[in-house]
Amino acid sequence: QVQLVESGGGLVQAGGSLRLSCAASGRTFSEYVMGWFRQAPGKERDFVAAISRLGGTTSLADSVKGRFTISRDNAKNTVYLQMNSLESEDTAVYYCAAKLLGDSNDARTYRYWGQGTQVTVSS
């Protein structure tokens, strides 16, 4: 089992940047595929980014390609989401998630979830 705690959210103007962090504790962090998802009010939880266990493979939603980057530091048990050129459409609660198996970007395949961190982009 793993516990996840997100941080780094906040209010930013359009065009600005934020870096989200997700600190993990519990089972060996490097065993987990890590993902970021987001949920805007009244909408479903959407995939944003994912990274393989050792960080060699990443996946990004089309809506964030070229603007967001996912990375991880297994020595620090932390996964990051660097968000640049933020747009008002990026406003959402961002969730960190973990799973042991599979490369699907479906949120239903992730077993462990953090509490989320709010990102608000003002236009």
Q: Fill in the DSSP letter of residue 56.
A: S
- Could you read off the pLDDT of 19-36 as tens digits, one per residue? 999 999 987 999 999 999
Mean pLDDT value of segment 47-60: 96
pLDDT at 85 over 80: yes
- Percent of the chain scoring above 90 in pLDDT: 93
pLDDT digits (tens, 9 = 90+) for 91-110: 999 999 999 988 789 999 99
Tell me the pLDDT band of 1, cut-offs 50, 70 and 90.
Answer: confident
DSSP sequence for 19-36: EEEEEEEES-GGGSEEEE
